[in-house]
């Protein structure tokens, strides 16, 4: 499965005199941690250094969420979502990683609910991006452990988020096949095809799936499309001839 790189964002902190909170507030500490993280990434600091910064930021964000005033601010939750989602990717301990994954999901929901004017849209988008990377990692582990139901349920969400990624679409389709969800497998094999996948096995599998649904024309067309991309593939050609007989 294609590895998707982590999303990083530049976060500029501007504090004016009329802000309702001071430079030393917990929310400010959480906000500043995003800037520190960017500096650490630019300076190629290791995961431990980045996790230390992220941990400090999450701790401050949680203090802000427990404050009577700042708990109602969408920024509090958007920052917590971003920092927690990032930890869920970097953290090597699976239990801790999953814990921050859960925190990030809850924080994203709160941020979206409170952010009526979309002032924190970029942070929320970045958090959602990171969450999908984490879901992809969880799906990979589930697939390796033959837990194809979990793998499919996670991969379909990730593939829907990255619809142009043919590797994701193929792996989603394969997971669906393994749980005999053939209609769903068809959807994601088609997605892979429509986004430029050329592997002849995809076209042969599409043809078989259409044949099982008694959609002869689509079965033939899938093979013709596959042969056009793989004109010297003997298996496709033979399967095509047999289908026409």
Higher per-residue confidence, 4 vs 224: 224
pLDDT attached to residue 15: 40
pLDDT attached to residue 57: 98
pLDDT attached to residue 80: 99
pLDDT tens track for 6-45: 444 444 444 444 445 443 499 999 999 999 999 999 999 9
Domains in the chain: boundaries:
26-143, 149-244
pLDDT tens track for 113-124: 999 999 999 999
Class of domain 149-244: mainly alpha
The residues, ordered by sequence, that sit 6+ positions from 206 with a Cβ below 8 Å of its Cβ are 186, 189, 190, 193, 218, 219, 222, 226
Q: 26-143 and 149-244: same fold?
A: no
pLDDT tens track for 159-213: 999 999 999 999 999 999 999 999 999 999 999 999 999 999 999 999 999 999 9
31-59 core/surface letters (b: 16 or more CB in 10 A; e: else)? bbbbebbbebeeeebeeeebbebbebbbe
pLDDT attached to residue 1: 46
Calpha distance 40→33 (Å, rounded): 10
Calpha distance 97→102 (Å, rounded): 9
Question: For the residues 202-230, what does the mean pLDDT come to?
Answer: 98
pLDDT attached to residue 200: 98
Residue found under tokens 């404050």 = 67
pLDDT attached to residue 23: 37
pLDDT attached to residue 2: 46
Calpha distance 34→117 (Å, rounded): 22
pLDDT tens track for 45-101: 999 999 999 999 999 999 999 999 999 999 999 999 999 999 999 999 999 999 999
Calpha distance 192→176 (Å, rounded): 14
State how far the alpha carbon of 201 is from the alpha carbons of 18, 47, 170, 196, in Å: 63, 39, 11, 14
Question: For the residues 101-106, what does the mean pLDDT come to?
Answer: 99
pLDDT attached to residue 16: 41
Class of domain 26-143: mainly alpha
pLDDT attached to residue 118: 97
């Amino acid at each position: 499965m294609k590895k998707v790189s982590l999303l990083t964002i530049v976060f500029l902190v501007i504090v004016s005199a009329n802000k309702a909170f001071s430079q030393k507030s917990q929310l400010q500490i959480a906000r500043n941690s995003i800037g520190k993280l960017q500096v650490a990434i630019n300076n190629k600091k290791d995961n431990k250094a980045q996790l230390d910064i992220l941990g400090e930021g999450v701790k401050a964000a949680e203090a802000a969420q427990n404050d009577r005033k700042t708990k109602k601010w969408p920024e509090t939750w958007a920052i917590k979502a971003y920092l927690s989602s990032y930890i869920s990717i970097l953290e090597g301990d699976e239990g801790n990683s999953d814990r921050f994954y859960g925190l990030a999901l809850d924080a994203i929901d709160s941020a979206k609910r409170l952010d009526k004017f979309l002032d924190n849209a970029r942070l929320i988008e970045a958090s959602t991006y990171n969450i999908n990377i984490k879901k992809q990692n969880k799906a990979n582990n589930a697939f390796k452990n033959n837990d194809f139901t979990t793998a499919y349920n996670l991969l379909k969400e990730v593939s829907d988020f990255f619809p142009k990624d043919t590797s994701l679409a193929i792996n989603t389709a394969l997971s669906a096949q393994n749980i005999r969800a053939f209609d769903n497998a068809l959807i994601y094999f088609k997605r892979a095809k429509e986004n430029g996948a050329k592997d002849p096995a995809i076209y042969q599998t599409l043809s078989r799936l259409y044949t099982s649904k008694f959609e002869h024309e689509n079965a033939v067309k899938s093979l013709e499309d596959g042969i056009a991309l793989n004109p010297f593939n003997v298996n496709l050609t033979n399967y095509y001839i047999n289908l026409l007989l």
